[in-house]
Structure 1
Amino acid sequence: MNFLTILPMAVVMVAGTQLVAAVFLASGDRPRRASLGFLTGAAIVVVVGTTLAWLVFRVIKGAAGGGGRSPVETAIDWVVLGLLVVLAVVVFVRRHSSGEPKWMGRLQHAGFGYALRLGLLLFVVMPSDDLTMVTVGASAARHGLSWWHLVPFMLLTLLLLALPLLALLLLGDRADRTLPRMRDWADRHSWIISEAVVVFFLALTVVDLLR
């Protein structure tokens, strides 16, 4: 396993409500300030959450010591497998939770501070994000990957989340047509791609267990 393997999990991090919120902020009164605030909040959670998971499982693996495949590595693989199964269930159960929550109406007038707090809260309280960060951190630690291998995953997560802002900056007035389409697609179909990514990562974990 390398950093390219865990990169697709970034899609799971932003699919659904997170990307929809980013679109609303990019369509608001202060799109640049609000979007930057949202990205800042998300970045804090993603970096801290993934790093903590990596550190915890790295310490657990290091405490076991020994050469070859240790029982601790096998146990971590089973933990990751369990997390992925739960994540797949969460994504599937939430597939019909489309529609805009009432609180999203306030995003039209959000500033940097409000968007920052939203980014922090949204990525903390979403079970799919918590499970994804723990899964990525645990998998990287299990395979002995250094911390910097997590950086591409973090950057891709933020890049995907920044797509609405980039569309606004690059397309100008045409973004008025593009952003609603992006919002509707993320709201209705992103769970399918998330499920496919989770199944792919689950298959890799099963291969590790069978070796």
Structure 2
Amino acid sequence: MNLLTILPMAVVMVAGTQLVAAVFLASGDRPRRASLGFLAGAALVVSAGTTLAWLVFRLVRGAAGGGGGGGGRKPVETAIDWVVLALLVVLAVVVFLRRHSAGEPRWMGRLQHAGFGYAFRLGLLLFVVMPSDDLTMVTVGATAARHGLPWWHLVPFVLLTLLLLALPLLALLLLGDRADRVLPRMRDWADRHSWIISEAVVAFFLVLTVVDLLK
């Protein structure tokens, strides 16, 4: 497993409420400041979450002798694979159960007038309290540590997550007035269908983990 196999999990990070919130912020009174605040909050949480998971599982792998040389897979690597597999199964269930949570929560109406500070706090909160995001961050960090990938392999994952979150702002900057038609469509799609893409990504990652276990 390498960097490219981790990157698709960024889709799971932003699917649903997170992307919908980004669309609302890009459609608000202060779209640039609010969107940048939201991205800053998300960047802090995603960077810290994946790094913490990577550190914990790297320490576990190192303490159990999983980082040494020699042939054959180490017991600790098998244990981490089972942990990742369990996380993926739980993540798939969480995404499935939340598939009917379409619709705009009441608090989203306030995003139209959000500034940098409010959007920053929202970015922090959304990515902390969402179980799917917590599970995804732990899965990505654990997988990178299990395969001995250096920390910087997490950076492209974080950047892709932020790029996906920035799509509404980019649409606003690039399309101008036409964004008024594009952004609602983006919001509706994320609200109704993004869970299907998330499940496909989780299934792909689950298959890779099972393959690791069978080696």
> TM-score of the superposition, structure 2-length normalised?
0.97
The runs of 4+ residues in structure 1 deviating greater than 4 Å are none
Alpha-carbon distance between aligned partners in 1 of 2:70 and 2:112, rounded to the nearest angstrom? 56
Q: What do the CA deviations read for 1:162-205 (whole angstroms, capped 9, x no partner)? A: 00000000000000000000000000000000000000000000
Between 1:95-104 and 1:64-73, the stretch displaced more is 64-73
Q: Which runs of 5+ in 2 are unaligned?
A: none
Change in CA separation of 1:75 and 1:46 when aligned onto 2, cut-off 3 Å: same
| Secondary structure of residue in 1 paired with 2:187 | helix
Alpha-carbon shift at residue 14 of structure 1 (Å): 0.1
1:122 to 94, 105, 126: 126
Alpha-carbon shift at residue 68 of structure 1 (Å): 3.3
Q: Which runs of 5+ in 1 are unaligned?
A: none
Alpha-carbon distance between aligned partners in 2 of 1:171 and 1:180, rounded to the nearest angstrom? 13
Q: What do the CA deviations read for 1:135-179 (whole angstroms, capped 9, x no partner)? A: 000000000000011111110000000000000000000000000
Q: Indicate the residue corresponding to 1:148 in structure 2.
A: 152
Alpha-carbon distance between aligned partners in 2 of 1:69 and 1:147, rounded to the nearest angstrom? 22
Q: What do the CA deviations read for 1:67-120 (whole angstroms, capped 9, x no partner)? A: 631111100000000000000000000000000000000000000000000000
Q: What do the CA deviations read for 1:15-50 (whole angstroms, capped 9, x no partner)? A: 000000000000000000000000000000000000
2:185 to 175, 181, 189: 181
Between 1:114-123 and 1:56-65, the stretch displaced more is 56-65
Aligned-residue Cα RMSD (Å) equals 0.9
- Sequence identity percentage: 90
